Amino acid sequence: MPRAIHVFRTPDRFIAGTVGEPGDRSFYLQAVHEARVVSVALEKQQVQVLADRMGLLLEEVHRRFGTAIPPELEDVDTSPLQMPVDVEFRVGTMGLGWDAESEAVVVELLAVTDAEVDESVVLDDTEEGPDAVRVFLTPIQAREFTTRSERVVSAGRPPCPLCGEPLAASGHMCVRTNGYRRGEVFDAAEEFGDDT
């Protein structure tokens, strides 16, 4: 069966979003053009890597081609994902490039597959290979994506100030406090009459 390649040349939206509570969130990328919506699932780290690399690509495009690149944006799309989130596939390989002809950042998301993905499949229309979503973004849309993605990633559980691991509402087994749950350390000191 030939692969499905979902192409969005002029998307209305291309966003990262989540479903669930911090600590138990599922991450998605969603491309929208009019009534057409395609959603793919991925890991939090993949969202962070894509946003970081897209920011670096924008800087490189500006340096090499002089293309005007918008600075960090304060006002970005904060609307939630369109529901229901019907997942097309889970992302395995991601590709990123610059299309000089259309002056667009090209993002390609390939489905997880058991077979090793030949990099010649990325950003190519070959009939063999994993399903894909390919999105063309203007520099402004790309900057909006990076800004929103950074906010989505950082909106999870806050890090422990001692060890950097995520804090949960129920407490945190911090390696820096010798196994005491964060928040219990001071209670234990009071229990043993330690005034220091």
pLDDT tens per residue, range 92-151 = 999 999 999 999 999 999 999 887 776 766 677 778 889 999 999 999 999 999 999 999
| pTM of structure | 0.80
Q: Is the pLDDT of residue 63 over 90?
A: yes
Domains of the chain by start residue, with CATH = 5-154 (3.30.2450), 158-196 (no CATH)
The confidence score (pLDDT) of residue 190 equals: 39
Q: Which residues contact 19 (CB under 8 A, 6 or more apart)?
A: 25, 26, 28, 81, 85
Element (H, E) at 19: strand 13-19
Contacts of 160-167 with C-beta under 8 Å, sequence gap 24+, read 166/23
Rounded mean pLDDT, 72-97: 92
Q: How far apart are CA 28 and CA 41, in angstroms?
A: 4
pLDDT-based confidence at 159, cuts 50/70/90?
Answer: confident
Rounded mean pLDDT, 43-67: 94
